[in-house]
Amino acid sequence: MEFLDKAILPQSDHHMVLIKYLIVVAFVLLIPYLSLLLGNLTYSLYFRKRAIRENNENFYKLSEDLIEMITFNKGVAFALGIVPMLSAMFGFAQLLNQTNASVHGYLFISLLFLFNALLLIYSYKNGFLFKIKVSDENSNLTDIEKNRIAKQERALKIFGKSGKYGIILLLISIYLFCGAVQLSFDTERWESVGNIGEMVFSFNALVSFAQFIISAFLITSAMILYRYFRTNSEVSNYSDEFKSYIRDFVLLRGLLASILLLLFIVLSVMMRSKLSLSYGVFGYSVFALCLILIVSSLFYFMLKESHTKYNSSLIFLVIVVVFVLIIRDQYSFDVSTKKQFAVLAANYETYQAKINEQLGIGEVPISGADIYNGRCIACHTFDKKIVGPPYNSTMPKYEGKKDLLVKYILNPVKVNPDYPAMPNQGLKPKEADAIAEYLLTTYKKMP
């Protein structure tokens, strides 16, 4: 990842905050997309296998609908998958600069797997174009027609395998993504994780990956319910009996996923390092748990009563849960990397000073004489009383004690009852130091 390291520039505090927001936005787009891609592809492969085994046209159509739901446009994969992953990669490269945590490197590898997985998944989707209509009257076909059908059958097998290989590559990409995100706020492991193997074989990565898989099936189940059973749904190609089967299928799996997600959210908090925990992390975790309890209840009531009237509320709550979990992880990242951000901010000041020096801009010197003539001369002179005492009578006690004079200028207090208290001039520390140096130097030069 040397090309990324060379592209890194020191960032100010303000810019680092913007980069963190960029990562949050990238995750808000990427995580739901990967979840739906994984869930829909898994369900599609499952129903395709059942369609072939049972010679059932409904299962085949459902399999096609499910993969079409998430791959209807190639631009979606680019906008919701590739671009957010690239944004997160560059964001972490900037924020974790000068550390041994190669989070951006692991995200780059994850991106490569994701890209190849998308190629295979879209090939799997295109395989439905070669659908063969099942018929028992193949004896009357000509040799040419039989050869055409044989070629289509081979194409179907190839495209079917592309779906299986695609889901394997997608799972690897998601695992690397989860491991990299966990490593980003586990500062205690930054020095110890020297290669990708140590990152992969970590318990935190396994827990995060399992939580992602469970969330994927929860999101996918809620989305299928909303797509097929919302009011005025355009999907009406199935009989009521088969739609009831779809309803019970996704309700049961959604209920199981929501229950498991409760356990894994608690486990993920317990496994985090102390440096990545805060009241915000606990607060968002509790909020997510409460929402998931409501989601579980909605799944249970709809499954028990055999209806889907809560599907709109369900998809809304699931989206909120995903967003809350993303914010929770960002809090962990903020808390655990405060020291890192302080180092980067200091490096930025050094970098900025160096650039100014190379450009000949330099720091403008502060003139104590200008401050005296602009502010002090209205009330003070060196040899006579005006509003305040003459400097000749007050400077002797500050000889060799410039720090005391600077402290008094920054926070003046009433000292001599014969004179009014000096108002605070609102000077900065460097300005106060400059005026103190000017007053002491001028006083010493006077006869």
Lowest pLDDT segment from 9-13, 23-27, 209-213: 9-13
CA dihedral 234, 239, 241, 242 (to 10 degrees): -70
Q: Is residue 259 part of a domain?
A: yes
Residues 323-348 have pLDDT tens digits of: 999 999 988 888 888 887 777 777 76
Same-domain check for residues 346 and 406: no
Query: By the 8 A CB rule, do 48 and 160 touch?
Result: yes
Q: What pLDDT, on a 0 to 100 scale, did the predictor assign at position 67?
A: 92
Give percent above pLDDT 70 in the chain. Answer: 83
% of the chain residues with pLDDT over 90: 36
What does each C-alpha distance from 178 to 151, 229, 333 come to in angstroms?
A: 41, 32, 14
Residues 409 and 323 in one domain: no
Q: Is 359 inside a domain boundary?
A: no
Whether residue 360 lies inside any domain: the answer is no
Q: Give Dmax (Cα) for the chain.
A: 126
Task: Specify the higher pLDDT residue, 117 or 277.
Answer: 117
Q: What is the per-residue pLDDT across 181-193, written as a single tens digit (0 to 9) for each?
A: 988 888 777 766 6
Indicate left, alpha or beta for 367 from its phi (over 0: left) and psi (-120 to 50: alpha).
beta
- Give the pLDDT of residue 230: 78
For residues 377-386, b (16+ Cβ closer than 10 Å) or e, as one string?
eeebeeeeee
Contact predicate 117/31, CB 8 Å: no
pLDDT of residue 136: 42
Does one domain contain both 374 and 328?
Answer: no
**pLDDT tens, position by position, 220-231:** 999 999 988 876
Residues 227, 235: Cα–Cα separation, whole Å: 7
C-alpha 422, offset from chain centre? 52
Stretch 147-175: mean pLDDT, rounded? 78
Count of structural domains within the chain: 2
83 domain-assigned: yes
Residues 84 and 160 in one domain: yes
Structure confidence at residue 265 (pLDDT)? 94
The answer, yes or no, to whether residue 268 has pLDDT greater than 60, is yes
318 plus 421 within the same structural domain: no
Across residues 5-12, what is the average pLDDT?
62
> Coil, strand or helix: which one is 365?
coil
Identify the bridge partners of residue 385 per DSSP, sorted by sequence position: 380
The pLDDT value recorded for residue 133 is 46
User: Is residue 361 in a domain?
Assistant: no
Q: pLDDT class for 89, splitting at 50, 70, 90?
A: very high
Which structural domain, as residue segments, surrounds residue 422? 368-445
Q: What is the mean pLDDT of the chain?
A: 83
Predicted confidence band of residue 132 (pLDDT cuts 50, 70, 90): very low
Instruction: Kindly state whether residues 168 and 263 are assigned to the same domain.
Output: yes
Q: Is the pLDDT of residue 273 over 70?
A: yes
The model's pTM? 0.74
229 and 87 both lie in a single domain: yes
Is residue 334 located within the same domain as residue 412? no
Question: Do residue 340 and residue 383 come from a single domain?
Answer: no
Residues 339 and 411 in one domain: no
Which of these three, 300, 321, 350, is where a domain ends? 350
What's the pLDDT at 352?
66
Residues 257 and 378 in one domain: no
**What is the mean pLDDT of the segment spanning 235-257?**
87
Q: Does residue 373 share a domain with residue 302?
A: no
Question: Which residue, 324, 350, 376, sits at the end of a domain?
Answer: 350
SS3 content of the chain, % helix, strand, coil (to 5): 75, 0, 25
Considering 20-24, 151-155, 315-319, 403-407, the range whose residues carry the highest mean pLDDT is 315-319
Tell me which of 350, 383, 410 is where a domain ends: 350
413-423, pLDDT tens digit by residue?
Answer: 888 888 888 88
CATH code assigned at 439: 1.10.760.10
Decide which of 393 and 132 is more confident: 393
Residue 356 domain-assigned? no
**How confident is the model at residue 271, as a pLDDT?**
84
Residue with the larger pLDDT of the pair 371 and 283: 283
Look at residue 38 in the predicted model and tell me its pLDDT. Answer: 96
| Residue 1 reports pLDDT greater than 60 | no
Band the pLDDT of 432: cuts 50, 70, 90.
Answer: confident
Distance CA 50, CA 246 (A): 14
Residue 97 maps to a domain: yes
The pLDDT tens digits for 377-388 are: 878 888 888 888
